[in-house]
Structure 1
Amino acid sequence: MKIKSTKTALVAMAAAAVLTVAACGSSGGGAQQTGQGIAPDITVEAVNDQTGPVAYAGVGASKGAQLAIEQINEQDYLGNGAKISLEQVDTAGEIDRAVSEMTKAMANQKVSAILGPTMAQQAAAVAPIVGQSKVPTVFTQSGANGVVINDYTFRATAPMESYYNIAAKWLANNNLKAASVIYNATYPTFANLGKTVFPKEAAANGIKIDQSIEVQSTTQDFTGQAQQIAQANPPAVVMMLIASQAVTFMKQLRQAGYTGQIVGTSVQGSGNAAPAGAAANGLVYPVDFSVAMTGDTSTAFTKAFTEKYGAAPDAYAAEGYDALWWIARGIKASGDSSREGIQKGLTQVAGEGFTGAMGPLTFDGNDMRVTGAMVKWDNGKESLVDSPA
């Protein structure tokens, strides 16, 4: 209750601040108006974590977005020399700071669209005021409910639950017809996967769940759970844990003598399985993007990103890249780079879909959907083990 009250108070203060700044600055103008076409200079502001515990998600998204902007500008994609620029601010893993920085961005009349916070708690806190201020905001990650809630909120990351069915299909196709499940019950995405989504998909694919074990976000030692699972010795173990927990669990599960198949989530992607060392070898998990993907747009993105940054992209970079191309396509579709024009264009493009770094992209309203792919982690490298389902 305390967290909910704090968030409500932050939203109220932010909404008041947006209205105050807008009122004070209404006579000064500066914002492009609807119907004026595509402006020569279009500003997108990235408001996400560049430092703090989930900085990897914000940094990756912003790198992908910057690559997309360079390509858009070089191609003269919006015509007549129109250019997009990206401004960056850091939310540092803090909800109140995210609300404050989003408030400033929305009140800044030169900002036409926003690349929103990646942390779900931050995104859910700012989503209501995005609708009030009517500044089109595209979130990446932010997989919880309460983010895509109005006409100006969009998400360029498919919820994990929307493509996790390919994990159950992979298990069935490999004759792994029984599994133990362990999941973080205090993390909303994993709680939903563990309690509802995977059991349903498992039943549909003829997979029996022998045991289902709940843990908390504070759980750091999995010795007891690992021994319990190893003793049961199921053909497969499905784990839905945050990155640091998964590393510890895999090590302790192997130490307990389990030699069967471990299935993870996209959280293990982007190299997050590496600290587990040999214990992670053979791990499989569904992803929305991997450098192992072989589609033309995916390989072209990987090549361009690697050339620019000297390192291969992760899923967060792919999401940021597709988010900015979604914005650019929206501007071109509506022929209008005002806030209202971008909102209309984003909605139109969502209705049509497009192909990006993550492959063919479709949408459920303003919420992205992907085909997804199963990958295998071995000796520090991902490889594709199943064609997209």
Structure 2
Amino acid sequence: MGKPGSTVALASLVALALAGCGGGSSTGAAEEAGGRPTAVTATMLADLTGGAAFCGVAARTGAETAVKKINEERMLGETTLELAVEDTATDPRQAASLMSRVAGGDSQAVLFGCASQVAQAIAPVAQDEGVPLVAMQSGSDGVLDAGEYLFRSTAPQASYQDVVVDRLVEQGVRSAAVVYQAENPTLVELAEDTYPGLFASAGISIVASEKFQGTGFDFAALTSSVAGRSPDVVVMLGQGTPNVTVITQLRQAGFTGPVVGSASFSADVLAPLGGQANGALWASDFNVAGSAPSTQEFVSYFRSVNGSDPSQFAAQAWDAVMLLAAGIEAAETLDREGVRAGLETAAARGFDGAVGPVTFEDRDARVGGVLVTWQDGREQLVG
């Protein structure tokens, strides 16, 4: 965590960094007379298609909105932040190839969102090539293990799932089943480590634990087995569309209890379920009704630009870009090593982001989680 009092509004953070920056150099960027480049380029590798597109598309919007804000308000002084976007197709191999290509170009840093299995594929490439990488979502342990060029601007989901379990205890839940998608490392960690530990401490027994792969449509055997165990609650940990399919078939199999999920319930993923999704619970780091001033400032600006409410993923991508901007301003030089060092400085300070106050532990974000429910076709903050 950052030291007490280290969390500051991003505008102040950028101003502090700007005041302390000397002249620097930036590969592939024309420089002003004052030594700062006229433009800095970052590339966003986003899961715009494939299994994590529900997250990646929203993340792209959040990132582009943040870049607009930064350039409109000259948060980098006379330097413009330029953002290129590439689609990983939620494919680790394609993403690793893209990362290698970007490393050979002029980008000073890379942003990534969303799937952890994709992040694990690109992280070693970024480290080996010396390219600063700011990842949002990407909650598995292996991402940051690659080395000091890796930063995660989204707090791991495992760090705030206790708010869900506390609520279940209040509701008198005594038993649970866990269903999870096996190819997503974050969801595997939640299913096999986080929830078993939290449930054991809370006195909630796990009566079934079932995993699946892919985005198929026939989960009848799995859902019949789970429903047959009569759990008080089902923890459904899928990546996007499978959440809808499995919950539908759980209802068809006779399960009538509440469903708990993950960040993959965000961005209106549950909308196709209609009333079947009412009462679903999940922990999040963001909700449009959040009380933090920085959250409401973000929501207001996002609405003014896009004409809609931001999702959790848009908020997280906004914060990833804002962390990068703070790192650029803190950098003494704007080559890749300089940006990496600037990100270290920015992370040590922390900032007030779209999700509220953000601090860091070893380049890894930490936030306070909130509890969200789905009711009557929309997400609602649980008071």
TM-score by length of 2: 0.84
What is the match of residue 59 of structure 1? 57
Partner Cα distance (1:85, 1:317) in 2 = 18
Show the counterpart of 1:114: 110
- Residues in 1 aligned to 2:149 and 2:258: alpha-carbon distance in whole angstroms: 42
Q: How does 1:354-365 map to 2 (within 5 A)?
A: 354-365=351-362
Q: How does 1:44-193 map to 2 (within 5 A)?
A: 44-79=42-77, 81-109=78-106, 111-116=107-112, 118-148=114-144, 149-193=146-190
Deviation at 1:306, TM superposition (A): 1.8
**CA RMSD, aligned part only?**
2.5
2 CA distance for matches of 1:94 and 1:196?
25
Question: 1:32 deviation in Å?
Answer: 8.0
Partner SS, residue 154 of structure 2: coil
Contact 1:38 1:78 in 2 (8 A): no
Q: Distance in 2 between matches of 1:347 and 1:273?
A: 37
Aligned mate of 2:350, from 327, 350, 353: 353
CA-to-partner distance for each residue in 1:190-249, whole Å, 9 max, x for gaps? Answer: 222222211111122232323333344466433344344444433322222233222122
2:315 pairs, out of 307, 315, 318, with 318
> How many pairs align?
355
Secondary structure of the corresponding residue to residue 142 of structure 2: coil
Q: In the superposition, relative to structure 1, how do residues 218 and 70 fare at CA in structure 2: closer, same or farther (>3 Å)? A: closer
Alignment of 1:286-297 (within 5 A): 286-297=283-294
Residue 31 of structure 1 contacts residue 338 of structure 1 at CA under 8 Å; is this kept in 2?
no
Counterpart amino acid of residue 50 in structure 1: L
User: In 2, distance between residues paired with 1:37 and 1:174?
Assistant: 60
1:342 shift after superposition: 1.4
1:57 Cα deviation from its structure 2 partner: 2.6
- Per-residue CA deviation, residues 41-70 of structure 1 (Å, 9 max, x unaligned), is 211122223344433333322221222122
Q: Deviations over 1:78-98 (max 9, x none)?
A: 23x222121222333343432
Q: Which residue of 1 aligns with 2:23?
A: none
Q: What's the secondary structure of 2:143's corresponding residue? A: coil
User: What amino acid is the match of 1:262?
Assistant: V
Task: In structure 2, give the amino acid aligned to 1:256.
Answer: A
**Would the alpha carbon gap of residues 250 and 135 (structure 1) be closer, same or farther in structure 2, given more than 3 Å must change?**
same
Equivalent residues of 1:179, 1:210 under 8 A apart:
yes
1:31 to partner: Cα distance = 5.8
Q: Tell me, in whole angstroms, the C-alpha distance in 1 between the residues paired with 2:99 and 2:226.
A: 45
Question: Would you say 1:277 and 2:274 are equivalent positions?
Answer: yes
Report if the CA contact (8 A) 1:187-1:217 is conserved.
Answer: no
Look up the SS of the partner of 1:77 in the other structure: coil
Distance 2:221 2:172 in 1: 28
Q: Check the 8 A contact 1:98/1:117 in 2, yes or no.
A: no
Q: Which moved more, 1:253-262 or 1:63-72?
A: 253-262
Cα distance in 2 between the residues matched to 1:124 and 1:234: 34
| Deviation, structure 1 residue 365 | 1.1
Q: Taking every aligned residue pair, what percent have the same amino acid on both sides?
A: 37
Provide the C-alpha distance between the structure 1 equivalents of 2:199 and 2:182, rounded to a whole number of angstroms: 19
Give, in whole Å, the separation in 1 of the partners of 2:338 and 2:111: 16
Q: Is the 8 A contact 2:113 2:317 kept in 1?
A: no
For the residues of structure 2 that align with 1:43 and 1:214, how far apart are their CA atoms?
41
Change in 2 beyond 3 A, CA 1:119/1:259 = closer
Structure 1 92/198 Cα, relative in aligned 2: closer, same or farther at 3 Å? closer
| Residues 253 and 58 (structure 1), Cα distance of their counterparts in 2 relative to 1, 3 Å cut | closer
Q: What code does the residue aligned with 2:36 have?
A: I
Cα distance in 1 between the residues matched to 2:97 and 2:183: 27
CA distance in 1, matches of 2:73, 2:204: 49
Structure 1 residues 135 and 193 mapped into 2: Cα distance closer, same or farther (>3 Å)? Answer: same
SS at match of 2:172: coil
252 and 59 in structure 1: CA distance in 2 versus 1, 3 angstrom threshold: closer
**Separation of aligned partners in 1, 2:208 and 2:122:** 38
Moved more, 58-67 or 204-213: 204-213
- 329-338 vs 278-287, which moves further: 329-338
- The answer on whether the counterparts of 1:270 and 1:315 sit within 8 Å (CA) in structure 2 is yes
One-letter code aligned to 1:47: L
Q: CA offsets, 1:4-23, max 9 Å, x none? A: xxxxxxxxxxxxxxxxxxxx
Give the distance between the partners of 1:179 and 1:95, measured in 2 at CA: 32
Q: Which residue of structure 2 aligns with residue 266 of structure 1?
A: 263
> Aligned letter for 2:143?
V
1:370 matched to which residue of 2? 367
